[in-house]
């Protein structure tokens, strides 16, 4: 292992610095994300988040949510930065999501929040952007 690699690992092992930075938005994976609060009342509303995922079963599970905060952690070096998204996650079980078989559109029950509310952070690099439309009946 090279000298610079072992120094970087040592710096990561110290953990993040105590000071964090928060942002209203972030550009990652070709998308511009804005927090829900920042986007409120604007013409574009870029807070929809999707994580393509899978579970231990044979069925793939995608997670859908809204971006609440963008957080930057720095690990004792300018090169060692990590961006996290804190999200409000929707329930993606059968009671919270439905996929139209003909159009493959995903319908989310916006009132059904994911039960594990302690697991709200994801790496920004994991996220894809989605757009929500709301039907008022």
* pLDDT of res. 27: 95
The DSSP H or E segment spanning 4 is helix 3-13
* pLDDT of res. 83: 93
pLDDT digits (tens, 9 = 90+) for 88-103: 988 877 677 777 888 8
Tokens 């996290």 -> residue: 84
Q: pTM for this structure?
A: 0.78
Q: Judging by DSSP bridges, how do beta strands 106-108 and 25-28 pair with one another?
A: unpaired
* 60 and 54 Cβ atoms separated by less than 8 Å: yes
pLDDT digits (tens, 9 = 90+) for 33-47: 999 999 888 887 889
78 phi, psi to nearest 5 deg: -65, -30
Q: How far apart are CA 129 and CA 47, in angstroms?
A: 8
């Amino acid at each position: 292992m090279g000298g610079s690699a072992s120094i970087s690992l040592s710096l990561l092992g110290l953990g993040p610095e105590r000071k964090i930075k928060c942002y209203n938005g972030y550009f990652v994976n070709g998308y511009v994300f804005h927090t829900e609060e920042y986007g409120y009342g604007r013409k574009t509303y870029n807070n929809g988040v999707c994580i393509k995922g899978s579970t231990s079963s044979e069925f793939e599970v995608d997670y859908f949510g809204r971006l609440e905060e963008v957080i930057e952690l720095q690990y004792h070096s300018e090169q060692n930065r990590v961006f996290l998204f804190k999200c409000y996650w929707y329930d993606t079980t059968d009671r919270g999501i439905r996929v139209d078989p003909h159009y493959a559109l995903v319908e989310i029950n916006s009132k059904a929040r994911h039960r594990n509310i302690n697991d709200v952070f994801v790496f920004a690099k994991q996220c894809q952007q989605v757009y929500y439309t709301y039907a008022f009946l």
